[in-house]
Amino acid sequence: MKIKSIIILGIAQIIFKHLIEMAQRMAQKESENHFNVVLTGGGTAGHVWPHFALFEASNSALAKAFQENKINVHYVGSQSGMEKDLVLSNQPTWKYYSIATGKLRRYFSLKNFTDPFLILLGIIQAFILLGKVKASIVFSKGGFVSAPVVWAAWLRGIPIIIHESDATPALATKLTIPFALKALVAFPETIKRISPLFQNRVIEIGLPIRESLFSATKEESQKYFSLSPERKTILIFGGSLGAQSLNKKMFDIIPELHNNYNIIHIVGKGNKFEIPGLSNYRQLEFLNDGMKFAYACADLAICRAGASSIFELAAARVPMILIPLGMHASRGDQIINARIFMNKGWAQSIDENTFQNNSAIQLIESTINSLEERKKALESAPTKESAMKTADLIWEILLKNENNK
């Protein structure tokens, strides 16, 4: 009886071992049949939305492969940044990973003595993670979380593509471009601000924009917000940075603007402010899927000059008045973005420091009176095609790298 039990146990062990080996071979085969795309970027929503746009580009091979389950998407961000909430709430099939992050400040701070260790930890975590997920490529949209991922990918020999949205390269772009295979930029003006050593890897491609932002009609958008079709509509929003200070300026002039126009005002999370008696004023903290209705409904937009916002408005052919975030709260990139758009005739701009209620109202009214002229100028602005071009480039590099193995 004892011998019989030993024999049965031995057979069971052999079968169990065989099943494990078979499962490992199947897992290995499945891994080999999939590309593992790693995305990174954070700090603002503008570092996240372009990632979503790549997989909404319906005519691209990358989006098609993702829909056919040939691509696994892994997003690397910070533990507490807004990128985590955006990815988890909008992309349930993506896998999100957090790494340690540190900021390289160009001013004195006690954190300058501790953050380098956090950055080093982030590089180690990213290095381990990229090996674990068998990363095929890394696409970075910038922000301080992205640099450790790019550096770790370079150490592993993984192809890297980075993208800079603003006209002036951010610090993260300057620190990662030496390690990138390709560096994509939204503005042609950015290229001359990059070291000649790396200009041969730079491609002007525009900004990847989500196709879903252009899927609504004006009529259904007016119904969505319950607004009068007899009035022109002004869209006001501050983006993920600078919403509060912009809101304060707008709250002062909204009652007067309301006499003649519909107003959609996206104030930002926790920034709601009651203005009673305005029947054609819609105040919202945040719009996600509803942003397509806001763009379709708007005859004029008043906003900051973050790259994502202004490229989306340009592609939607919405005339805009920009109030760029000043040097007190940024590196001045929005000021340059606004100047470029203004020089091309795609927007008008108001200096935040010299903002006056009466002159702002006059500019708004004169712009609305010349909407057709403004829209005609926008016909030469970039379109939503940038997302497809970027996605196709990623797919091309994926295939080339796979064939070279």
Q: Give 220-227 contacts, CB < 8 A, sequence gap 24+.
A: 220/293, 220/296, 221/292, 221/293, 221/294, 221/296, 221/297, 222/297, 224/290, 224/293, 224/297, 225/262, 225/264, 225/282, 225/293, 225/294, 225/297, 226/282, 227/262, 227/264, 227/280, 227/282, 227/297
Contact 146, 170 (CB under 8 A): no
Residue 120 and residue 115: Cα distance in Å, rounded?
A: 9
H or E element in which residue 66 lies: helix 61-67
For residues 277 and 246, the answer to whether their CB atoms sit within 8 Å is no
Residue 326 in marked binding region: no
206 is in an annotated binding site: no
DSSP letters spanning 359-370: HHHHHHHHHHTT
CA–CA distance, 144 with 47 (Å, rounded to integer): 11
- 282 in a known ligand binding site: no
Residues 38 and 139 sit within 8 Å (Cβ to Cβ): yes
226 is in an annotated binding site: no
Phi, psi of 309 (to 5 degrees): -60, -50
Check the annotation: does 240 bind a ligand: yes
317 is in an annotated binding site: no
For the annotated binding site, the residues are 44-46, 210, 240, 334
For the annotated binding site for UDP-N-acetyl-alpha-D-glucosamine, the residues are 44-46, 210, 240, 334
